[in-house]
Structure 1
Amino acid sequence: MPKAQIGWVLFDKNYIMQEPFDITIGDTDYAIFPEGNDTYVVFKDGKEYAQIQKDTESTWLKLDPETALPLFEENEEINAIGKEIMAYVPEVEEDDEEAEEEE
Protein backbone atom coordinates (compact mmCIF):
# COMPACT_ATOMS: atom_id res chain seq x y z
CA MET A 1 0.00 0.00 0.00
CA PRO A 2 1.43 3.44 -0.89
CA LYS A 3 2.33 5.77 1.97
CA ALA A 4 0.31 8.96 2.23
CA GLN A 5 2.12 12.26 2.69
CA ILE A 6 1.58 14.14 5.92
CA GLY A 7 -1.62 16.18 5.68
CA TRP A 8 -3.28 13.77 3.30
CA VAL A 9 -5.93 11.15 4.04
CA LEU A 10 -5.83 7.76 2.34
CA PHE A 11 -9.30 6.68 1.25
CA ASP A 12 -8.22 3.61 -0.72
CA LYS A 13 -5.06 2.30 -2.35
CA ASN A 14 -5.36 4.55 -5.39
CA TYR A 15 -6.99 7.76 -4.13
CA ILE A 16 -5.45 10.29 -1.76
CA MET A 17 -7.25 13.47 -0.72
CA GLN A 18 -5.84 16.47 1.08
CA GLU A 19 -7.34 17.47 4.43
CA PRO A 20 -9.03 20.89 4.88
CA PHE A 21 -6.76 23.79 5.85
CA ASP A 22 -6.85 27.53 6.54
CA ILE A 23 -5.20 30.42 4.72
CA THR A 24 -5.14 34.16 5.39
CA ILE A 25 -4.94 36.89 2.76
CA GLY A 26 -4.63 40.36 4.23
CA ASP A 27 -7.16 40.51 7.08
CA THR A 28 -9.41 37.81 5.63
CA ASP A 29 -9.40 34.18 6.80
CA TYR A 30 -10.43 31.40 4.44
CA ALA A 31 -11.08 27.72 5.15
CA ILE A 32 -10.19 25.53 2.19
CA PHE A 33 -11.85 22.15 1.62
CA PRO A 34 -10.24 20.15 -1.21
CA GLU A 35 -12.66 18.13 -3.34
CA GLY A 36 -10.16 16.55 -5.76
CA ASN A 37 -9.31 17.30 -9.39
CA ASP A 38 -7.95 20.76 -8.43
CA THR A 39 -11.38 21.80 -7.13
CA TYR A 40 -11.89 23.42 -3.72
CA VAL A 41 -14.77 24.75 -1.62
CA VAL A 42 -13.80 28.05 0.01
CA PHE A 43 -15.33 29.39 3.21
CA LYS A 44 -14.83 33.09 3.95
CA ASP A 45 -15.46 34.44 7.44
CA GLY A 46 -17.15 31.17 8.41
CA LYS A 47 -19.62 31.05 5.50
CA GLU A 48 -19.45 29.13 2.24
CA TYR A 49 -18.09 31.61 -0.26
CA ALA A 50 -17.18 29.85 -3.50
CA GLN A 51 -16.20 26.68 -5.26
CA ILE A 52 -13.05 27.21 -7.31
CA GLN A 53 -11.05 25.18 -9.80
CA LYS A 54 -7.48 25.51 -11.03
CA ASP A 55 -7.29 26.48 -14.72
CA THR A 56 -3.58 27.24 -15.21
CA GLU A 57 -0.66 27.82 -12.84
CA SER A 58 -1.78 31.41 -12.24
CA THR A 59 -5.47 31.36 -13.19
CA TRP A 60 -8.31 29.98 -11.10
CA LEU A 61 -11.99 29.87 -12.00
CA LYS A 62 -14.97 30.40 -9.75
CA LEU A 63 -17.67 27.80 -10.40
CA ASP A 64 -21.32 28.76 -10.81
CA PRO A 65 -23.07 27.84 -7.53
CA GLU A 66 -26.11 26.40 -9.34
CA THR A 67 -24.54 24.57 -12.29
CA ALA A 68 -20.94 24.03 -11.08
CA LEU A 69 -19.75 25.22 -14.50
CA PRO A 70 -16.69 27.50 -14.65
CA LEU A 71 -17.30 31.24 -14.85
CA PHE A 72 -14.68 32.56 -17.27
CA GLU A 73 -14.20 36.00 -15.78
CA GLU A 74 -11.04 37.44 -14.23
CA ASN A 75 -11.29 37.48 -10.43
CA GLU A 76 -8.27 38.76 -8.49
CA GLU A 77 -9.52 37.44 -5.14
CA ILE A 78 -10.07 33.92 -6.55
CA ASN A 79 -6.60 33.96 -8.16
CA ALA A 80 -5.06 35.11 -4.85
CA ILE A 81 -6.83 32.27 -3.01
CA GLY A 82 -5.58 29.81 -5.63
CA LYS A 83 -2.02 31.10 -5.29
CA GLU A 84 -2.18 30.55 -1.51
CA ILE A 85 -3.63 27.05 -2.03
CA MET A 86 -0.68 26.15 -4.27
CA ALA A 87 1.79 27.59 -1.72
CA TYR A 88 0.22 25.78 1.24
CA VAL A 89 2.44 23.23 2.99
CA PRO A 90 0.71 21.06 5.63
CA GLU A 91 2.02 21.44 9.17
CA VAL A 92 3.76 18.38 10.58
CA GLU A 93 2.07 17.15 13.73
CA GLU A 94 4.16 15.75 16.59
CA ASP A 95 2.48 12.32 16.40
CA ASP A 96 3.35 12.11 12.69
CA GLU A 97 6.99 13.06 13.38
CA GLU A 98 7.29 10.36 16.06
CA ALA A 99 5.78 7.73 13.76
CA GLU A 100 8.25 8.62 11.00
CA GLU A 101 11.20 8.44 13.41
CA GLU A 102 10.15 4.94 14.53
CA GLU A 103 10.19 3.61 10.95
Structure 2
Amino acid sequence: MQDPFDVLVNGVVYSVFPEEDNVYTIFKAGIEFGKIEKDTENLWLKLDPETELPMFDNDAETNRIGLAITNYVPEEEDEDEDLD
Protein backbone atom coordinates (compact mmCIF):
# COMPACT_ATOMS: atom_id res chain seq x y z
CA MET A 1 0.00 0.00 0.00
CA GLN A 2 1.19 3.49 -0.79
CA ASP A 3 2.35 5.72 2.07
CA PRO A 4 0.40 8.90 2.93
CA PHE A 5 1.51 12.06 1.17
CA ASP A 6 0.62 15.74 0.86
CA VAL A 7 -0.52 17.66 -2.21
CA LEU A 8 -0.87 21.39 -2.68
CA VAL A 9 -4.01 22.62 -4.44
CA ASN A 10 -4.70 26.36 -4.82
CA GLY A 11 -2.47 27.17 -1.85
CA VAL A 12 -4.10 24.59 0.46
CA VAL A 13 -2.26 21.51 1.73
CA TYR A 14 -4.26 18.29 1.55
CA SER A 15 -2.98 15.18 3.30
CA VAL A 16 -3.76 12.07 1.28
CA PHE A 17 -4.10 8.64 2.89
CA PRO A 18 -4.46 5.87 0.29
CA GLU A 19 -7.08 3.27 1.18
CA GLU A 20 -8.26 0.45 -1.08
CA ASP A 21 -7.99 0.66 -4.88
CA ASN A 22 -8.51 4.27 -6.09
CA VAL A 23 -10.01 5.43 -2.77
CA TYR A 24 -8.28 8.05 -0.62
CA THR A 25 -9.04 9.66 2.75
CA ILE A 26 -8.32 13.37 2.52
CA PHE A 27 -7.51 15.85 5.29
CA LYS A 28 -7.70 19.56 4.48
CA ALA A 29 -5.49 21.68 6.74
CA GLY A 30 -5.58 18.93 9.37
CA ILE A 31 -9.37 18.44 9.35
CA GLU A 32 -10.98 15.45 7.65
CA PHE A 33 -12.36 16.48 4.25
CA GLY A 34 -13.69 13.01 3.47
CA LYS A 35 -13.02 10.10 1.18
CA ILE A 36 -12.71 10.47 -2.58
CA GLU A 37 -12.68 7.85 -5.31
CA LYS A 38 -11.38 7.94 -8.86
CA ASP A 39 -14.26 7.40 -11.30
CA THR A 40 -12.66 8.20 -14.67
CA GLU A 41 -9.38 9.79 -15.73
CA ASN A 42 -10.75 13.30 -15.14
CA LEU A 43 -13.61 12.70 -12.69
CA TRP A 44 -13.31 12.07 -8.98
CA LEU A 45 -16.22 11.49 -6.62
CA LYS A 46 -16.58 12.33 -2.95
CA LEU A 47 -17.98 9.45 -0.91
CA ASP A 48 -20.94 9.87 1.43
CA PRO A 49 -19.52 9.90 4.98
CA GLU A 50 -22.21 7.54 6.31
CA THR A 51 -22.66 5.03 3.48
CA GLU A 52 -19.36 5.49 1.60
CA LEU A 53 -21.35 5.46 -1.64
CA PRO A 54 -20.25 7.90 -4.37
CA MET A 55 -22.04 11.24 -4.52
CA PHE A 56 -22.45 12.28 -8.15
CA ASP A 57 -22.40 16.04 -7.67
CA ASN A 58 -19.35 16.93 -9.81
CA ASP A 59 -17.46 18.76 -7.06
CA ALA A 60 -14.69 20.98 -8.52
CA GLU A 61 -12.58 20.85 -5.34
CA THR A 62 -12.70 17.04 -5.32
CA ASN A 63 -11.65 16.95 -8.97
CA ARG A 64 -8.71 19.32 -8.28
CA ILE A 65 -7.55 17.12 -5.39
CA GLY A 66 -7.88 14.05 -7.59
CA LEU A 67 -5.83 15.67 -10.35
CA ALA A 68 -3.11 16.48 -7.80
CA ILE A 69 -3.16 12.83 -6.65
CA THR A 70 -2.90 11.63 -10.25
CA ASN A 71 0.07 13.96 -10.86
CA TYR A 72 1.81 13.14 -7.56
CA VAL A 73 5.29 11.68 -7.93
CA PRO A 74 6.67 10.15 -4.73
CA GLU A 75 10.00 11.48 -3.54
CA GLU A 76 12.77 8.96 -3.92
CA GLU A 77 13.98 7.63 -0.61
CA ASP A 78 17.67 7.83 0.19
CA GLU A 79 19.00 4.30 0.28
CA ASP A 80 22.07 3.89 2.40
CA GLU A 81 24.33 1.46 0.62
CA ASP A 82 26.45 -0.76 2.79
CA LEU A 83 29.93 -0.97 1.38
CA ASP A 84 31.28 -3.43 3.98
Any stretches of 5+ residues in structure 2 without a counterpart?
none
Corresponding residue number in structure 2 for 1:76: 60
TM-score normalized by structure 1? 0.76
Distance in 1 between the 2:33 and 2:74 partners? 22
Given the alignment, which residue of 44, 50, 57 partners 1:66? 50
Residues matched between the structures, number: 83
Q: Check if 1:54 corresponds to 2:38.
A: yes
Identity rate, percent:
49
Q: Check if 1:88 corresponds to 2:72.
A: yes
Aligned residue for 1:79, secondary structure, equals: helix
Q: Report the Cα offset of residue 90 of structure 1.
A: 0.4
More helix by share: 1
Q: Report the Cα offset of residue 27 of structure 1.
A: 1.6
Matches within 5 A, 1:38-53: 38-53=22-37
TM-score normalized by structure 2? 0.92
Q: Check if 1:18 corresponds to 2:2.
A: yes
Q: Which runs of 4+ in 1 moved over 6 A?
A: none
> What root-mean-square deviation, in Å, do the aligned CA atoms of Structure 1 and Structure 2 show?
1.5
